[in-house]
């Protein structure tokens, strides 16, 4: 599998655990501390999928997703939200923004890679 995941997560502990869990599942991972950093790196790194925290200071996940989907260079990169806010309206909003899936926090680090793979396999 060796897919490249770009992760934007402002919490350093969650970022570390997520990065390690994804690497253990066989993904290549580029971790960023916020949405702005992700937007700066995404065109040069060109990941296969973006795992995006929904709630981040400065530039939240919704705004980052809007910008990614508005840019012809990044609009086709699948986006999956990773967030503690998992009420139905948040999940619906994520899909309206163009995300292909949503993983709720807290998540089991041992199954994060499997959850992501399941979401990606459900795409046409």
- For residue range 21-64, what is the model confidence (pLDDT) as tens digits? 999 999 999 999 999 999 999 999 999 999 999 888 889 999 99
For residue 22, give the CATH number of its domain. Answer: 3.40.50.2300
Number of folded domains that form the chain: 1
| Look-up of token digits 């923004």 | 97
CB 73 within 8 A of CB 39: no
The answer to whether residue 105 scores a pLDDT higher than 90 is no
> For residue 48, which phi and psi values (nearest 5 degrees)?
-80, -25
> Is 40 within a domain?
yes
Task: Determine, yes or no, domain membership for 124.
Answer: no
Task: Indicate the range of 51-55, 90-94, 106-110 predicted with least confidence.
Answer: 90-94
**The pLDDT of residue 89:** 53
Domain assignment of residue 90, given as a range: 4-119
Map residue 30 onto helix, strand or coil.
strand
């Amino acid at each position: 599998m060796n897919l490249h995941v770009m992760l934007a997560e402002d919490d350093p502990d969650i970022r570390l655990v997520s990065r390690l869990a994804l690497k253990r599942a066989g993904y290549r991972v580029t971790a960023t501390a916020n949405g702005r950093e992700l937007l700066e790196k995404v065109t040069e790194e060109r990941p296969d999928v973006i795992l995006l925290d929904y709630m981040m200071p400065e530039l939240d996940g919704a705004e980052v997703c809007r910008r990614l989907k508005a840019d012809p260079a990044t609009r086709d990169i699948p986006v999956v939200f990773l967030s503690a806010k998992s009420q139905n309206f948040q999940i619906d909003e994520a899909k309206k923004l163009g995300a292909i899936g949503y993983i709720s926090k807290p998540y089991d680090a041992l199954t994060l890679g499997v959850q992501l793979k399941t979401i990606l396999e459900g795409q046409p």
